[in-house]
Amino acid sequence: MPVTSHPHPAPTEAGALPGSLLIRNLRKEYRAGQPVLKDISLAVEGRGITAIIGPSGTGKSTLIRCINRLVDPTSGEIWFGGSDLARLRGRSLRMARRRIGMVFQEYNLVERLSVIENVLCGRLGYVPAWRAFLRRFPDSDVERAFALLDAVGLGADFATRRADQLSGGQRQRVGIARAVMQDPALVLADEPTSSLDPKTSVEIMELMAALSAGGGTPIVINIHNVDLARRFAQRVIGMSRGEVVFDGPPDALEDRHLTDIYGGEGWLS
């Protein structure tokens, strides 16, 4: 029988961990009467990696994008940092987004900018517009950007390279450094390994796990590779047809759950 999640007390209450996320009855319809997300309710505590698995088209990316409001939900609540993100607009939404780092499948770098400039883009929400336009960031930000390049395994030698001169794995490392540069309380990652080869995919997941453990920042990641989810996540959420059908630790994820999530059995080895 599938394991489903249940609503928890709102993280605005005393004792909530930094980075705690509470989703209540989240629904998204791109077309009226055809929900992509069907009243999702789940809570993510402020620690570790939570992996979301499921077939293409089941709503994984829509869920991630609703959380940071790249997509507006049709209804429901998204509690983070004491606010319901689903109701925020304008400056309030921009302020909330500063604390949510995003790692994209297609890297989302500014190709014509250098590596160090792309990393510094993580501070755009914290500096005046004129500083950002002139690329005049505080010395402390520049120093931290160089430190993050070291942390993601690139180093100062890559700082002045244009983003379009990098390999896929190198671009994803820059994307992770940019997300961490925001000083986020939560990191969302939308299929960050799907464009990478198996070896690089493992390296990227190792990097994200190390950053989560070292900084204590929770990461919610959409991922197609079930083996990587089992290896690196502390919690796995399985989605099918817009609903949560499994929610538990990786070692509780069995073939019967994968059949519920993906359908059929012939692909299981």
CATH number of the domain that residue 215 is part of? 3.40.50.300
Mean pLDDT value across residues 104-109:
88
Token output for 187: 């990191």
What pLDDT is stored for residue 25 in this prediction?
Answer: 96
Residue 14 domain-assigned?
no
Tell me which of 8-22, 32-46, 108-122, 239-253 is least confident.
8-22
What pLDDT is stored for residue 131 in this prediction?
Answer: 64
Residue 16 domain-assigned?
no
Q: CA 209 to CA 41: how far, in whole Å?
A: 25
Residue 202 domain-assigned?
yes
What pLDDT is stored for residue 105 in this prediction?
Answer: 86
19 or 130, greater pLDDT = 19
What pLDDT is stored for residue 268 in this prediction?
Answer: 59
Say which residues have a Cβ less than 8 Å from residue 140's Cβ, sequence separation at least 6.
Answer: none
- Provide the edge-to-edge strand list for the sheet that holds 186-190: 100-103, 186-190, 219-222, 49-53, 235-240, 243-248
- For residue 39, the enclosing domain spans 21-262
What pLDDT is stored for residue 3 in this prediction?
Answer: 39
What pLDDT is stored for residue 45 in this prediction?
Answer: 82
Residue 171 domain-assigned?
yes
What pLDDT is stored for residue 130 in this prediction?
Answer: 58
Residue 7 domain-assigned?
no
Residue 13 domain-assigned?
no
Give the total number of structural domains in the chain: 1
Confirm if 213 and 220 have CB atoms less than 8 A apart: no
User: Residue 17 carries which DSSP code?
Assistant: P
Residue 247 domain-assigned?
yes
Confidence category of residue 213, pLDDT binned at 50, 70, 90: confident
CA–centroid distance for 157 within its chain: 28
Task: Answer whether residue 47 shows pLDDT above 90.
Answer: no
Residue 9 domain-assigned?
no
First to last CA, the chain: 21
Confirm if 201 and 193 have CB atoms less than 8 A apart: yes
Token output for 210: 């190390």
